[in-house]
Chain A
């Protein structure tokens, strides 16, 4: 616990004495280790301590927020008074009785990263570097990054919620560069989770390195992606960037309430093909977007967003839920004590269907097979999205054809969800840092193999070709 209960109460009361009908304090102590290796050298070993507190006061539709690194009682009360004054309203409730909500899940960390000697972490990074370099002579550069975070939080609010939580995450990324004198290409792999050092029992770090290196080498020989509309098959192992962009962001309640989402006002309506079910689930053990409690002290939960094509639910935080007089779905997240919480995804995925991945490919005469997705972006207002294809192949007569590089897929979220015509059962997870309003949070995403009958592939036309 980062502050005694009596002090938490005093801070909240100091804020509400100035004004507001809700006050909250979020205290955080974040200890991090990171190691980077490039040019066969361990370049950086960094450790850090970042601690601070964010105080939020809400009065009606107005929010005031303040933060500081100073966790002394006096300084926190000073910040609380400043923040309370800023909402410019009548003093709020005085009586606060704390209760501790129970989490729906118990995540056990088998081996905390702060119990692993730094030598062992450095050794892992070296092994990964060596494995990637051993793949091919054309691998000219490898960078490996390891990071772990132990984030302790204490969250208390004037509704009486009091939560202590500890989030432990490890992550490993490897980036390989291949050069053949003419081209430079790269391959990337990452693994991470709400897990301790046991992450590296669940994934094989050397195998990850080899995958990244092989992809870089393969891309040297890939041809430029075609341009124009075509059917696209996305493999289960491709990751879930598409569903995250095409659908997930538009189901965040803040965007919906501001009429900034194409899904606004569509609860209960058909927004996708019958075979499409979309779920956001913070409770899956060990995934990168998993947690016991969100950053407002609400237990993480599993929320069915779209069921058999029908829009069922949006993702809410405290403030957006309060505006509709309902409960939060436990999606209130923030990057750190420096940020106010907003509705965010956790682990978002298209639920597995009954189709067979091999059959989907076999039945597709021509198109693009996406074996690995890269990053993406969406304009939630009109639903247009793009995402990058990190590994893609042409499909020729139902077979995997030559590799292509440099493809981006462009589409419209609602349109794509309606036309998805095949969904297989092979769910595979990806992970990333999702950015929104300048805040980055860890998320997971996934989908089984699916087919979209028509997407725009942004490639290159032959120099000679016109129209």
Chain B
């Protein structure tokens, strides 16, 4: 696909739909995405599944008398688009009027970001297949006990976004991203343990199959022989992956939407200490090589760099156009869309805890007794409103500052706020897993149930 050419075509189409809806007396916004995807799954050095795809969709938001209506379609025929307009207008009549419902006006410009790595498109399929196979070879070569490949894959996507609204915004961009991941199983004495490795980003050259493969293998092998420990309180260290799992639970509470609806733990706490002084928490919609980077958000507002927590003190919340109007502030460029099928809600972009200065080894060395957590299970059961969590955990026991034996089948529980306050060290190994990033973090004391 020629994405420059397609951008023009779809911007025209978005403009036409907006114009038609506006003629009916509505404020209107059309959001189009279109793209291609490739996914390669390898097992035992054979291509098990190869998927290629093309898709497109249009989401239409209208506001009539301060009421929002929404409809979407993947069918771009004139009849389907007309039906979509009628549906959106009819839906608006059913919604409750809210004076803060509005669309953003035209912006003077958008940041120029490097989101298109031509190498992703130019690299031939055979080379991408070879990359996936190399991950598996590296995992197997790492240790003879790595015997089963659960999955080993490469994937990339190329897409464009075109957005037009009746207040003058017409904007488009195209982007590409790629990634690789593997889940492997190490087997010994009838026991099986899994480990994963992954890498995602905007640059093909940054996907290192050797690193991904060896990471998966080492994570699987080190869990062999895992045992339970007794129930106790002890220091706990989260590796970057586990830390990002917890960040995912905090994210909704930092949206103005949750605050305005009384569903945020952080409500009324701007300017207060909500986390340990070692914590700086940031949302950056323009981060270089950030998988969630874009020049504008799902409403056409320029993305930003927002410091949410600085030295443990809550600074502000994330906003889209609606929540900003309601609070009398400006949108932070966090009008997020899951896809063309949803209205823009408030959501994070590239969301991360800033790196500290010491290495993970140094912050582990100071622990007399504790658990280095490498995986949590059931994180989606944590309650983002109350902040209560209780998750299954696996990891490695720490004794006198050293990682010793693997541990599984234990649970850790607490409240997110208490956890944030109890963090007493942040390491320098900031790592992103998709759009969420964190370094290794240490919590002084937590209950470990075994």
- Check A386–B52 contact: CB distance below 8 A: no
Does residue B338 face the partner (Cβ distance < 8 Å to A)? no
Q: How near does chain A come to B10, taking the closest CB pair, in angstroms?
A: 14
- Which one of B69, B98, B191, B392 has the highest number of Cβ atoms from chain A below 10 Å of its Cβ? B392
Does residue A116 face the partner (Cβ distance < 8 Å to B)? no
Does residue B427 face the partner (Cβ distance < 8 Å to A)? no
- Check A49–B80 contact: CB distance below 8 A: yes
* Bitwise interface map of B from 375 to 419 toward A, beta carbon under 8 Å scored 1, else 0: 001101101011111111010000000000000111111110000
Does residue A354 face the partner (Cβ distance < 8 Å to B)? no
From the candidates B74, B261, B409, name the one contacting A384 in the complex (CB within 8 A).
B409
- Check B261–A49 contact: CB distance below 8 A: no
Among B87-95, B282-290, B299-307, B329-337, the stretch that binds chain A is B87-95
Q: How near does chain B come to A176, taking the closest CB pair, in angstroms?
A: 10
Does residue B54 face the partner (Cβ distance < 8 Å to A)? yes
Query: In the assembled complex, which residues on chain A have CB atoms less than 8 Å from the CB atom of B377?
Result: 377-379, 384-386, 410
Chain A, 19-49, CB within 8 A of any chain B CB: 35, 38-49
Cα A382 to Cα B408 with chains together (Å): 10
Cα A382 to Cα B228 with chains together (Å): 14
Chain B, 38-97, CB within 8 A of any chain A CB: 43, 46-57, 68-75, 80, 83-84, 87-88, 90-92, 94-96
* Bitwise interface map of B from 18 to 37 toward A, beta carbon under 8 Å scored 1, else 0: 00000000000000000000
* Bitwise interface map of A from 383 to 414 toward B, beta carbon under 8 Å scored 1, else 0: 01111100000000000000001111011100
- Check A406–B388 contact: CB distance below 8 A: yes
Does residue A69 face the partner (Cβ distance < 8 Å to B)? yes
* Bitwise interface map of A from 36 to 64 toward B, beta carbon under 8 Å scored 1, else 0: 00111111111111111000000001111
Query: In the assembled complex, which residues on chain A have CB atoms less than 8 Å from the CB atom of B381?
Result: 374-377, 386-388, 408
Cα A66 to Cα B49 with chains together (Å): 10
- Check A47–B413 contact: CB distance below 8 A: no
Chain A, 144-196, CB within 8 A of any chain B CB: 177, 179, 183-186
* Bitwise interface map of A from 453 to 466 toward B, beta carbon under 8 Å scored 1, else 0: 00011111100011
Can you list 10 A-B pairs, Cβ within 8 angstroms, ordered by A? A48-B341, A49-B74, A64-B49, A67-B53, A184-B387, A224-B413, A227-B413, A388-B378, A408-B390, A458-B410
Other than A67-B54, A68-B55, A227-B231, give 7 A-B pairs with Cβ distance below 8 A.
A45-B69, A66-B53, A227-B447, A228-B231, A379-B377, A410-B377, A459-B449
Residues of chain B touching chain A, judged by Cβ–Cβ distance below 8 Å, are 43, 46-57, 68-75, 80, 83-84, 87-88, 90-92, 94-96, 98, 148, 150, 185, 191-194, 228, 230-233, 260-263, 265, 341-343, 377-378, 380-381, 383, 385-392, 394, 408-415, 447, 449-450
Residues of chain A touching chain B, judged by Cβ–Cβ distance below 8 Å, are 35, 38-52, 61-70, 82-83, 86-87, 118-119, 122, 140-141, 143, 177, 179, 183-186, 219, 224-225, 227-229, 258-260, 262, 338, 340, 374-379, 381-382, 384-388, 405-408, 410-412, 456-461, 465-467
